[in-house]
Structure 1
Amino acid sequence: MSIEVLNESGEVPSPVPEQELADLGRHVLDQLRVHPQAELTITLVDEETMAALHVQWMDLPGPTDVMSFPMDELRPGHDGEESVAGMLGDVVLCPSVARRQAQEAGHAAGDELLLLTTHGILHLLGFDHAEPEQKREMFDLQRTLLLTFLAQRGRSTSAADDDSVARRA
């Protein structure tokens, strides 16, 4: 599995170490039985870059926290089978927006970025939250994936139980 993390945000160090973002991506893709040769890029950008992407792709002003750009429309594996190999796509995060959201929600900026990364990967895999049933499924899975990742590392986070993404969606 190829997961590349690029910090183009200008924030050094990043609120979440690049290796932790890659490890989280690997955890999510493994848990959802995505083909081991799938490729994923996670990019951290500044607010100006995110605002430009937000206008270009969503026709909405200002920066947002996370955007997902699927490539080969890969889906999770089912019934013990992996999905097909290919380019999953790109998750783009804006750490400064995540930091503000984390402060409002009362948790760490790093935890918010982990939550947003999980959220972005799920969008790449075809999950959505436009309808109530879809939202419940996506956010329950998001919570489970993040909590199991953190438990493996001996950590916990209030961000996983916070539904802060749900309030903004």
Structure 2
Amino acid sequence: MSIEVNNETGFDVDEAEFAALARFVLDTLHVHPQSELSILFVDTQAMSELHQQWMDEPGPTDVLSFPMDELRPGRDGEVTPPGTLGDVVLCPEVAVEQAKVAGHSTVEELLLLTTHGILHLLGYDHAEPEEEKEMFGLQRKLLLTFLAGR
């Protein structure tokens, strides 16, 4: 599995931990071990620009996902074909504020957002109530299992 983590901010990020989380999520969801994923941490200026360009919304957001090969999770123990999942872009400055509101650490918020972004790359969405229930339930299960094993 090729997981590239880049930090373009002054925020201290344990890149190995985010790569380990991504590897755990992708392995659990039976994504081919030769697939590729990029995780990028950016500042509010860069995130605002991406948010405006791709979502036509002003200001920074917490996470954006940019799928490439539209891979989906493997089913019934079958692994997906190899491919490029795409990019997960995170904004630590936004995550800091969200973590305060949620009552947990910024790292936990960023790990949650990373999991969320990867699920979007794999085709999960939360536009409809049933989709939200499925995606957020899986997101929670994946993150708690990963954190328990750290």
2:125 paired with 1:128: yes
Q: Within 5 A, what are the aligned runs for 1:9-158?
A: 9-11=9-11, 13-14=12-13, 17-153=14-150
Residue of structure 2 in register with 1:163 after alignment: none
Residues in 1 aligned to 2:116 and 2:76: alpha-carbon distance in whole angstroms: 23
Instruction: Report the Cα offset of residue 80 of structure 1.
Output: 1.2
Instruction: Report the Cα offset of residue 79 of structure 1.
Output: 1.3
Q: Which amino acid aligns with 1:144?
A: K
Whether contact under 8 Å (1:10, 1:45) holds in the other structure is no
Residue of structure 2 in register with 1:167 after alignment: none
SS of equivalent residue, structure 1 residue 149: helix
Q: What do the CA deviations read for 1:56-101 (whole angstroms, capped 9, x no partner)?
A: 0000000000000000000000111100101000000000100011
Residue of structure 1 in register with 2:3 after alignment: 3
Q: What do the CA deviations read for 1:16-51 (whole angstroms, capped 9, x no partner)?
A: x11000000000000000000010000000000000
Instruction: Report the Cα offset of residue 106 of structure 1.
Output: 1.3
Instruction: Report the Cα offset of residue 10 of structure 1.
Output: 2.5
Residues in 1 aligned to 2:47 and 2:110: alpha-carbon distance in whole angstroms: 15
Paired residues in the alignment total: 150
Instruction: Report the Cα offset of residue 105 of structure 1.
Output: 1.4
SS of equivalent residue, structure 2 residue 6: strand
Structure 2's unaligned 5+ residue stretches are: none
Runs of 4+ in 1 over 2 A off after TM superposition: none
Structure 1's unaligned 5+ residue stretches are: 154-169
Residues in 2 aligned to 1:80 and 1:111: alpha-carbon distance in whole angstroms: 29
TM-score of the superposed pair, with normalisation by structure 1: 0.88
RMSD: 0.6
TM-score of the superposed pair, with normalisation by structure 2: 0.99
